[in-house]
Amino acid sequence: MTTPKTARELVYSVMHDLEPQTQVNDDTELDSIGYDDAPSKDIIRSAIDHRHWRGVRLGFGALAGVSKISQITEAVSEAETA
């Protein structure tokens, strides 16, 4: 596995690990892949945190308001620069 260079690459890599049969893009709605509830979003958050990518740590509930893959990428990008 190569280290993702961007927040987008990280999010896509995490989603591929969680759902290897599902192709996602920035416009993918979380409800279309079954990740629209709080426990599912926490699975994504936890998977991102466990990568220890550039010190990014998303707190509990950090993805509560997201509904698309692009919004997860935004949250990661914000955490990277924080």
| Token pair 């979003």 in the structure block, residue | 41
Model confidence over 46-58: pLDDT tens digits? 999 999 999 999 9
Model confidence over 22-43: pLDDT tens digits? 999 999 999 999 999 999 999 9
Q: How far apart are CA 52 and CA 16, in angstroms?
A: 17
The whole-number average pLDDT for the span 7-34 is: 97
Where does 7-81 sit in CATH, by number? Answer: 1.10.1200
Residue 63 · residue 72 · CB < 8 Å = yes
Distances (CA, A) of 30 to 15, 75, 78, 80, 82: 11, 15, 20, 22, 25
Task: Kindly compute the dihedral angle of the four CA atoms of residues 32, 16, 75, 79, in this order, to the nearest 10 degrees.
Answer: 160
Domain boundaries, the chain: 7-81
Nearest to 15 by CA among 48, 64, 37: 48
